[in-house]
Amino acid sequence: MTIDRILKAASVIPVLEIATIDAAAPLAVALAAGGLRVVELTLRTGCALDAVGKMKNAAPDLIVGMGTVRSADDIAASRKAGADFIVSPGATPALLDALAASGVAALPGVATASEAMTAEEAGFKALKFFPAEAAGGIACLKSLAGPLPDLVFCPTGGISAERAPDYLALANVACVGGSWIATKAMIEGGDWDQIQMNARYAAGMKR
């Protein structure tokens, strides 16, 4: 599965932090029932890798990526766990080399024009723009569109439900990432109805 195909299946990608493995299956069911097809787990908890398989078993059509990937070891572990794609918060030369060598669909993270150009030189034309709001948000992405017309971005970081449509209106934005769909508190509280409602609202957003 290519990153282009994955991005075409998503307008908003929920960024998820799962603290307990028991939450993985009902979370996947709620997100899929709300109409979302692509999700990103974060490699910040001890059960994140195990959660990939649990989510895919519970919602077989869900495309599950692993985020917060920072090393070749993280890439290997994520692939072994069954992640469909990889997302990184940044993109060091070593990480870019490891991502390219792995052949896995990936969204390397960038925050500046120089970082975006470095990622493009490594063969990546779809990039995560992070942390989106703190790094200049919509104004920055508009500025990057002129000199870097071949690149598309998935801005993530500080983007609210209200701001997401403004990002999606940009020509160089393929989709946006957002934690508001299923916050850590919602997941820990088992608020699956609210998560499904948020997912349905996100799925209705158009580029």
Active site residues: 40, 128
Beta sheet of 85-87, edge-to-edge order: 106-107, 85-87, 63-67, 38-42, 12-16, 176-178
DSSP class of 110: E
Token duo for residue 124: 């990546």
Helix locations, 10-89, DSSP H: 24-33, 48-58, 72-81
Give helix 113-121 / helix 93-102 axis angle, nearest 10°: 40
